[in-house]
Amino acid sequence: MLDLHRLRLLRELSARGTVHSAARSLGYSPSAISQQLAVLEREAGAKLLERTGRNVRLTDAGQALVRHAAVLLDGMEAAEAEVAAIAAGRPTGVVRVSAFQSAFLRIVAPAVAALAQSHPDIRLEVTEAEVEASIPALRLRQLDAVVGDEYSDQPRPVHADLARESLVREQVRLVLPETHPLASNPRVQMAQLAEAQWAACQPGTGHRDMQIRACRALGGFEPDLRYASDDFLILVEMVRSAGACALLPDLVLGYGVPGVAVRTLAEGTIDREVFLLTRAARTPAIEVVAAALHAAVLPVDESAEE
């Protein structure tokens, strides 16, 4: 009979790519991982791994077992959660969520507060992380839900094994210093900002790619990116104190941002969708958390534009 613990090790190896990476992720030694996988091969009665230099790769049998392992592990997780919920008389257990900064502040934090009152038996563990880093952890059951974002014309990859649902769609707006010569205009042309300094998120993020695309496509120029941070509040401060420009979504600007002017682009709109990702099989506790995240979304504040 196949051991679920060893199946989880095989799935981790498949996702991480090397025995050493899988061992670091799980807190085991590489030799312990190798020994457990050797036992799994004997249980399966088939060769699951083959060496390629210093690394290993899954055989066809190993890949097939990983696919079935995902179904088995999902089923076991759901069964454990349902039994626990029946025993307690209500959804219970740990739900681990990741979210990027502005969604953490505006959506996840209010949901955590609401759940503490309505479902105190659900333990929420929340971490700030970008969606690119969170999806592998979601698949490996190190996370249960991921709040991510997607800018218009920059689609995220579609994952057949994950369920995605929209939380909110919002508009991206131009943020200028309130003393900028164009700040008096309700709508600003991007081409007029070709000489401006810009603040954006770090390289490799959706926000930075969106801002570069907008400057090129709408303004016809390459932006002078002077300031980089994945903290949107830092970007707002660089607009206010350093005279930079930035493109920021309503979820950030809904707090009210004194010292800056929030304007609409004359060339058209850029949208951002904030979405929730979970595994297809959701426990009762994850369902409750998903509902709380939807309920925590406030209507987009159209008054963000001054």
Query: Mind listing the pLDDT tens digit for each residue in 215-268?
Result: 999 999 999 999 999 999 899 999 999 999 999 999 888 766 788 999 999 998
Helix (H, G, I), strand (E, B) or coil at 28: coil
Cβ proximity of 161 and 93 under 8 Å: no
**pLDDT at residue 9, as a whole number:** 82
Q: What is the dihedral of CA 208, 257, 152, 246, to 10 degrees?
A: -30
Q: How far is CA 280 from CA 91, 95, 181, in A?
A: 18, 15, 51
Q: Which two tokens stand for residue 97?
A: 């969520």
What are the beta bridge partners of residue 293?
none
pLDDT of 255: 63
How is domain 89-166+272-300 classified at the architecture level of CATH? Answer: 3-Layer(aba) Sandwich (3.40)
- pLDDT exceeds 50 at position 304: no
User: Cα dihedral sign for 91, 97, 100, 104?
Assistant: positive
Average pLDDT for 293-306: 66
Least confident of 20-29, 120-129, 275-284: 20-29
Q: DSSP states of 226-240 as a string?
A: EEE-S-HHHHHHHHH
> First CA to last CA across the chain, in angstroms?
66
Amino acid at 86: I
If you write DSSP's letter for every residue of 103-159 in order, what string do you get? HIIIIIHHHHHHHHHH-TTEEEEEEE--HHHHHHHHHTTS-SEEEEEEETT-PPPP-
For residue 282, the one-letter residue type is: R
Q: What is the CA radius of gyration of the chain?
A: 23
The whole-number pLDDT of residue 303 equals 40
Query: Could you identify the residue written with the tokens 């009762």?
Result: 284
**The predicted structure's pLDDT at residue 111:** 97
Q: Report d(CA 86, CA 289) in Å as an integer.
A: 18
Overall residue count recorded for the chain in this entry: 306
What pLDDT score does 88 carry? 67
Average pLDDT along the chain: 87
Instruction: Quote the tokens at residue 270.
Output: 């850029």
Q: Give the three-state DSSP class for 298.
A: coil
More confident residue, 52 or 191: 191
Whether residue 266 contacts residue 189, with contact meaning beta carbons closer than 8 Å, is answered with: yes
- b/e map 40-61, b = 16+ CB within 10 Å: bbeebeeebbeeeeeebebeee
Looking at residue 305, its pLDDT comes to: 43
Residue 301 has what pLDDT?
A: 47
CATH 1.10.10.10 residue ranges for the chain: 4-83
CA dihedral 22, 25, 29, 31 (to 10 degrees): -10
4-83: what fold? Arc Repressor Mutant, subunit A (1.10.10)
pTM: 0.75
CATH topology of domain 169-270: D-Maltodextrin-Binding Protein; domain 2 (3.40.190)
* Predicted pLDDT at 229: 95
- In which residue ranges of the chain is CATH 3.40.190.10 found? 89-166+272-300
Residue 302: per-residue pLDDT: 44
Calpha distance 69→201 (Å, rounded): 37
* Cβ within 8 Å of residue 11, ≥6 positions away: 66, 69, 70, 73, 140
**151-195 residue pLDDT tens:** 988 888 888 778 999 999 999 999 999 999 999 999 999 999 999
Highest-scoring range by mean pLDDT, 37-51, 69-83, 166-180: 166-180
Our CA dihedral for 98, 103, 107, 111, rounded to 10 degrees, sits at: 20
Maximum separation of any 2 CA atoms in the chain, in Å: 74
pLDDT at site 71: 77
